[in-house]
Each structure stands twice: as C-alpha cells, then as structure tokens.
C-alpha cells in the first residue's frame, strides 16, 4: 500500500544495511565481480571503475536475478576517460505483429552482432513469459518500459489503473531480472504546464510519455511515477535495477529540439538523478530523438551539466526528418556526433522507424549502423584501445589477407558474401581494381617482384 504523502517518515537508526546494488558496494569500498569484469573488458583499473560507480559516473546495470549477464559499464571514469559507447537494440511483441518466433530471430541477430543491451518493448498481451526467457538466455543487459506492459499485464483500461497498479508492474519487472527500466518520472505537472503554454509541432512522441500524459489528463492527478518516486526507487534498489530516466518530452522533430518542454523536463531529471543516487540506485538519463547537427554537442553538454555527469542514453538523434526508410542513417549520423560530444549509450534506429515494426533484417541494418556510429565516436573521443581493431584491419588490407579482413569485420558474414558475389579474374584482388590493385602492386614492388599490368 502506498504511504500517505502528508506523513513524514524519519530515518531508522541502527547499523547500515547490507549492500545490495553496485552503487551500495562501490560506496562501501568493495569491488564486485561485475566491476572487475567491466574493468577487464575496458582495460581499466578495477578501483577506477569502483570509484566512478560510487559517484554515479558509471552505471553497471546488473539485476541480482540476471544470472546469464555479461556485465557492461556505461559512462566514464572520474578522470573523464569514457568507457566504450554501448549500443541497445529494441524489440518486442506488438498488437499487430504478435509473433514471438520473429522476436527470437531478432534476439539472435542482436546477440550475434554483439549488442550490449536489448530492450524488450513488448506491449500486447501477457509478455512475462517472453521477458523471463529472454533474461534467462541473454548475456546482454535487458531493459524494459513497465508503462508499456501495464495495460496488458493488469488487464485494465488506462483510466482504471491506480498508482499502486503501476508500482506492481515495476515490481514484477524487477523480480523477473530486468537490468534497467525506463521510468518517465520527469514529466510532472510543471513540465506539462510548460508544454501546453509553449506548444509544439509534433507534441509528445514518447509512447510511454503519451500514456502517462493521457492518464494525468483523465484523472487530474500528478504523474504517479513522480508522485511516488521514492516507492519506485525502493523497488529498484531491492533488486539492483538501474533507473533509466525517460525523456517523455524528447523532441520528435527537429523543429521541437531544445524547446521549453524538453529543457523543463531535463531540469526535473537532474533532480531525480540525485534522489536516485541518494537511495543507492544507479541512474542513466535518456536524451533527445530528433535534433539538427549543430544543436547536438550543446545538448550533450547541457544534459551532463544539469544531470550531474550521469551516464547519458540517446535515441539517435535523427538529424533530419525526411528520410523514412533510411532513418538508421539519419540516426547513425546523429549518434556519432552525440557520442563524440559525451553520450555514453546509443539506442539503435532501424530502416523501419516511423513505418512499421522492424523485422530481423531491419534489426541487422539498424544495429550495424549504430555500432559504426558508436565505434567512430570512440575513436574520436579517445577511448583507450578503440583504434587498435582498425589498425589490425588496415594491416590485413595492406597484406591483402582476405580471411583476416572478414574475421575483423563488424559483420563478417556480410563482408564475405559481398566479396564472393563477384569473383575477380586476378587472384588475390577484388573486382573493384583487379590487376590494378594498389595493395598488390606496391606489395610486389616491395618484395622485389616484377609488376606487369599488360
């Protein structure tokens, strides 16, 4: 039962409780196996990871029930050195395309191509069986948006759902083993007032945000996730679920970027970040979806300033609005700029964005595009070791070592298939240059061989 907000609750005296979350352990000076795993994967000292987790600069989403997880870190160390930019894949069952087999195809693609996280955005029917099986099998971090699941899980109309009901759904996801949840707690009545006063071209494009807005308008009440934020945090702390503070007011068009509603919500998210840290809950903050290139870097700096350098998770941003069918490209361009300017986590966008639920082929295209953006940003912002893989590829190209090139490729199967689709007449080359291959020509000269182009 939710407590009466008019009643003050004093802190209980006595010994400090045993640590539960990664933040609890970090603040107690304890390096957990998850912190050690992140340090090893990133080539950092475990103590540097611990200190950054304690300060909220790094989040390690790792629910205590997710036994199959390979831990990953999101953020940067206290000296400002970023971890590798992480990439998320969205999938899940919808009302119009409730084919679980198709969703498992997408999971397979995501894991095969090395997605760091998978968000299960299922929003139709009873989704718990799919979610729990995904958690059991996935080494990637698993995220959800409990608001999406509320209507199907509770079997109630939106207007009939109570704040207690919303908390019940959050608790179910936490108990199932979800590593991070998107909670749209920042869109409170103050932010709604700003939105209504200033107006927008595309209004509210966040699905979760629109549902909460509709509930608030219908009931005349405050956003339940904001009003009962402390209760949400208590649930998340119990299971070490990272809160991903959702941006219900993210711009859904370039026209609306950096407007009053977006910034008003961002200010609230900064306050909620500190409250979560005070409760020992790890935080990521979600960021804008559509934004012109020249606004991206300033937005990243603004978010980091207002949200106290918490890890930043962005969708895109999509840098123009005229490319349906190609929005994996508009998002990859924006994502590369955003991550270079400080974003820590990119949510992929597929060619199906704005058009339909993506299929497995769309997932592949979107994930590859976003991984390219993330890696390009890691090189640009000087992530230690980021360029090493590229140097190995360049060396293999110099030696015209095709099998090595395929193995080093981000998508080895695609690279090999393209090469083999058009066999060259000159052995060791490809059909772009054939016998005029620059690599082969210079290698032959360097090896003292006679070069003949006749």
Binding-site sequence positions for [4Fe-4S] cluster: 430, 433, 437
Binding residues for Zn(2+), by number, are 290, 354
Q: Which two tokens stand for residue 117?
A: 């996280």
Tokens, residue 244: 């991903």
The DSSP line for 385-405 is TTTHHHHHHHHHHHTT-HHHH
* 3-state class percentages of the chain: helix first, strand second, coil last, to nearest 5: 50, 10, 40
Query: What is d(CA 175, CA 277) in angstroms, rounded to the nearest whole number?
Result: 21
Please report the DSSP string for 307-374 in residue order. Answer: TTT--EEEE--BS-SS-TT-HHHHHHHHHHHHHHTT--EEE---TTTTTS---HHHHHHHHHHHHHHH
Tell me the binding residues. 90, 119, 148, 184, 206-208, 247-250, 286, 290, 313, 354, 430, 433, 437
* Alpha carbons 265 and 285: distance in angstroms, whole number: 11
**Residue 117, beta-bridge partner list:** 88, 141
Which of helix, strand or coil describes residue 175?
helix
Diameter of the chain measured on Cα atoms: 91
Question: 9, exposed or middle or buried, with CB in 10 Å at 0-12, 13-18, 19+?
Answer: exposed
Residues flagged as binding site for substrate? 90, 119, 148, 184, 206-208, 247-250, 286, 313
């Amino acid at each position: 039962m939710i407590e009466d907000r008019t009643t003050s609750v004093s802190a209980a005296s006595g010994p400090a409780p045993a640590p539960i979350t990664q933040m609890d352990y970090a603040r107690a000076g304890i390096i957990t196996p998850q912190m050690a795993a992140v340090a090893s994967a990133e080539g950092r000292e475990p103590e540097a990871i611990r200190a950054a987790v304690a300060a909220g600069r790094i989040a390690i989403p790792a629910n205590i029930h997710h036994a199959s997880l390979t831990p990953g870190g999101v953020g940067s160390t206290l000296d400002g050195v970023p971890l590798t930019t992480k990439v998320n894949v969205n999938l899940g069952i919808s009302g119009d395309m409730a084919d679980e087999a198709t969703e498992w195809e997408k999971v397979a693609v995501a894991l095969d191509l090395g997605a760091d996280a998978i968000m299960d955005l299922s929003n139709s029917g009873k989704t718990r069986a799919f979610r729990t099986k995904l958690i059991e099998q996935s080494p990637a971090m698993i995220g959800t948006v409990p608001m999406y699941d509320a209507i199907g899980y509770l079997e109630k109309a939106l207007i009939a759902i109570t704040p207690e009901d919303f908390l019940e759904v959050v608790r179910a996801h936490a108990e199932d083993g979800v590593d991070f949840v998107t909670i749209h707690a920042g869109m409170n009545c103050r932010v709604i007032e700003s939105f209504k006063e200033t107006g927008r071209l595309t209004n509210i494009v966040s699905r979760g945000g629109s549902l909460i807005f509709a509930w608030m308008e219908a009931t005349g009440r405050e956003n339940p996730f904001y009003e009962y934020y402390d209760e949400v945090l208590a649930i998340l702390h119990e299971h070490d679920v990272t809160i991903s503070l959702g941006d219900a007011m993210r711009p859904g068009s370039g026209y609306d970027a950096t407007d009053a509603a977006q910034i008003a919500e961002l200010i609230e998210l900064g306050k909620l970040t500190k409250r979560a840290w005070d409760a020992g809950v790890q935080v990521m903050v979600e960021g804008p979806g559509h934004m012109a290139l020249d606004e991206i870097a300033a937005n990243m700096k603004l978010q980091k300033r207002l949200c106290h350098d918490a890890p930043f998770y962005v969708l895109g941003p999509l840098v123009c609005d005229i490319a349906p069918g190609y929005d994996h490209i508009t998002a990859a361009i924006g994502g590369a700029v955003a991550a270079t300017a400080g974003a820590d986590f990119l949510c992929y966008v597929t060619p199906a964005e704005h058009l339909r639920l993506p299929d497995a082929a769309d997932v592949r295209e979107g994930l590859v595009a976003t991984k390219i953006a993330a890696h390009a940003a890691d090189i640009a912002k000087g992530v230690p070791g980021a360029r090493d893989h590229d140097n190995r590829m360049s060396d293999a190209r110099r030696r015209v070592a095709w099998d090595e090139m395929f193995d080093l490729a981000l998508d080895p199967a695609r690279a090999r298939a393209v090469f083999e689709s058009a066999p060259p007449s000159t052995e060791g080359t490809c059909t772009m240059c054939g016998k005029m291959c620059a690599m082969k020509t210079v290698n032959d000269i360097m090896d003292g061989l006679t070069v003949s182009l006749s």
